[in-house]
Amino acid sequence: MSERSGKTAEVTIGLWFDEEAGDIHLRLPDHGLSTVNPDPASKRGHPHLFNKLAKVLRDQGKPHPAVVEEWDRGKGA
């Protein structure tokens, strides 16, 4: 990744899919845990980020939720 502005920080995060809860969990070094889910009405909902993280898990051969390959641009996703 190129650093042009000097504003970019890089971090390694841990990801896993909680199949029972339907959330993707993120572990951030020195900052604890967080979750993201696909429900836009939820406090932790972010469908686009959830899908991107699902693709990361899929591409690394880990358990993952269903992946949306094509977003319907007319629905704000």
Measured distance CA(72)–CA(57) in Å, rounded: 22
| E strand spans, 1-77 | 14-18, 23-28, 32-36
Query: In sequence order, which residues have a C-beta less than 8 Å from that of residue 10 and are 6 or more positions away?
Result: 1
The torsion defined by the Cα of 71, 73, 74 and 77, in degrees rounded to 10, comes to: 60
Measured distance CA(72)–CA(63) in Å, rounded: 25
Domain positions in the chain: 14-58
pLDDT(75) > 80: no
Query: pTM, whole model, 2 decimals?
Result: 0.82
**Quick one: average pLDDT of 15-24?**
97
Condensed to tens digits (0 to 9), the pLDDT of residues 55-65 reads 999 999 999 99
